[in-house]
């Protein structure tokens, strides 16, 4: 069974996005903190999300691995476990 490569899941990923997209994404995420769902209100948000996906695609190798489904299952499990211990007081 393939697993995530060593400590690679603890590695940081750096994304560079234009400030205008960062502002749109920031507001979208602030709304998400308040509600469990985030409706995409307009094409500005849609475009910012599409470009964020593209930026992630350029830096991640996992989506192209044969064991991607297993990697995702482990990543989801890990973050679901962290959710219960996340401190939202600083948001």
Instruction: Give the domain ranges of the chain.
Output: 18-83
Binned at pLDDT 50, 70 and 90, residue 90 comes out as: low
DSSP sequence for 23-86: HHHHHHHHHHHHSS-----SHHHHHHHHHHHHHHHHH--GGGSTTHHHHHHHHHHHHHHHHTT-
pTM of the predicted protein model: 0.73
What is the share, in percent, of the chain residues with pLDDT greater than 70? 87
The confidence band for 91, taking pLDDT boundaries of 50, 70 and 90, is low
pLDDT of residue 7: 55
């Amino acid at each position: 069974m393939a697993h995530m490569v060593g400590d690679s899941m603890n590695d940081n990923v750096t994304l560079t996005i234009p400030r205008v997209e960062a502002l749109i994404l920031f507001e979208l995420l602030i709304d998400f903190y308040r509600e469990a769902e985030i409706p995409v209100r307009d094409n500005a948000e849609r475009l910012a999300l599409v470009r964020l996906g593209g930026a992630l695609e350029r830096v991640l190798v996992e989506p192209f691995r044969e064991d991607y489904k297993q990697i995702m299952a482990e990543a989801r499990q890990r973050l679901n476990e962290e959710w219960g211990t996340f401190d939202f007081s600083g948001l």
